[in-house]
Amino acid sequence: MTAHAIADLRSNLGYLKPGDVDRIEAAYQFSDTAHLGQMRKSGAPYISHPLAVAEIVASWQLDAQAVMAALLHDVTEDTEVTKKEISERFGKPVAELVDGLSKLDRIEFQSQQDAQAENFRKMLLAMARDVRVILIKLADRLHNMRTLDAVSPTQRRRVARETMEIYAPIANRLGLDSLYRELQELSFANLYSLRYRTIAKAVKAARGNRREVVTKVLDAMRQRLEEVGIEAAVTGREKHIYSIYKKMLEKHLSFSQVLDIYGFRIIVKDFQSCYHALGVLHGLYKPVPGKFKDYVAISKVNGYQSLHTTLIGPFGMPVEVQIRTQLMHRIAETGVASHWLYKGTEAELNEVQKRTHQWLQSLLDIQNHSGDAAEFLEHIKVDLFPDEVYVFSPKGRILALPRGATTVDFAYAVHTDIGNRCMAARINYDLVPLRTELKNGDRVEIITAPHAHPNPAWLAYVRTGKARSQIRHFLKTMQATESRELGERLLGQALRALGARLPDVAAERWDKLVRDTSAHSKQEVLSDIGLGKRLAAIVARKLLNVNEHHYPTDAAGGKGTGAIVIRGTEGMAVQFAKCCNPIPGDPILGLINKGQGLLVHTHDCPSIGKSRLDPDKWIEVDWDPETNRMFDVVLKVVVLDQRGVLAKVAAAIADAGCNIANVSVDEERGMYATNYFTVQVANRQHLAKVLRSLRRTQEVVRISRVKD
What is the maximum alpha-carbon separation in the chain?
104
Q: What letter would DSSP give residue 618? A: E
Is residue 600 within 8 A of residue 628, CB to CB? The reply is no
Cβ-based neighbour number of residue 519 at 10 Å: 16
Q: Which of 8, 20, 74, 77 is catalytic?
A: 77
CA–CA separation, 436 and 79 (whole Å): 57
Is residue 55 within 8 A of residue 12, CB to CB? The reply is yes
Question: Among residues 232, 327, 328, 338, which one has the least CA distance to residue 281?
Answer: 232
CA–CA separation, 64 and 13 (whole Å): 9
Cβ-based neighbour number of residue 339 at 10 Å: 18
Contacts of 252 (CB under 8 A, 6+ apart): none
CA–CA separation, 382 and 509 (whole Å): 48
- Whether 25 sits among the annotated catalytic residues: the reply is no
- How far, CA to CA in Å, does 136 sit from each of 52, 57, 119, 126? 11, 7, 17, 12
Q: What are phi and psi of 325, to 5 degrees?
A: -85, 175
Is residue 671 within 8 A of residue 640, CB to CB? The reply is yes
Residue 265 φ/ψ region, left for φ over 0, alpha for ψ in the -120 to 50 degree band, beta for the rest: beta
CA–CA separation, 83 and 73 (whole Å): 11
The angle subtended at Cα 687 by Cα 451 and Cα 680, nearest 5°, is 30
Is residue 162 within 8 A of residue 144, CB to CB? The reply is no
Coil vs helix vs strand at 438: coil
Is residue 700 within 8 A of residue 639, CB to CB? The reply is yes
Q: Kindly state the helix (H) or strand (E) to which residue 128 belongs, with its residue range.
A: helix 113-129
154-185 burial, b at 16+ Cβ within 10 Å, e below that, comes to eebbbbbebbbebbbbbbbbbbbbebbbbbbb
Q: Are strands 672-681 and 631-640 parallel, antiparallel or unpaired?
A: antiparallel
- Whether 78 sits among the annotated catalytic residues: the reply is yes
Cβ-based neighbour number of residue 241 at 10 Å: 21
Q: What letter would DSSP give residue 161? A: H
Is residue 148 within 8 A of residue 163, CB to CB? The reply is no
Q: Which of 78, 85, 238, 294 is catalytic?
A: 78
Is residue 531 within 8 A of residue 598, CB to CB? The reply is no
Question: Among residues 357, 354, 364, which one has the least CA distance to residue 125?
Answer: 364
State the catalytic residues.
77-78
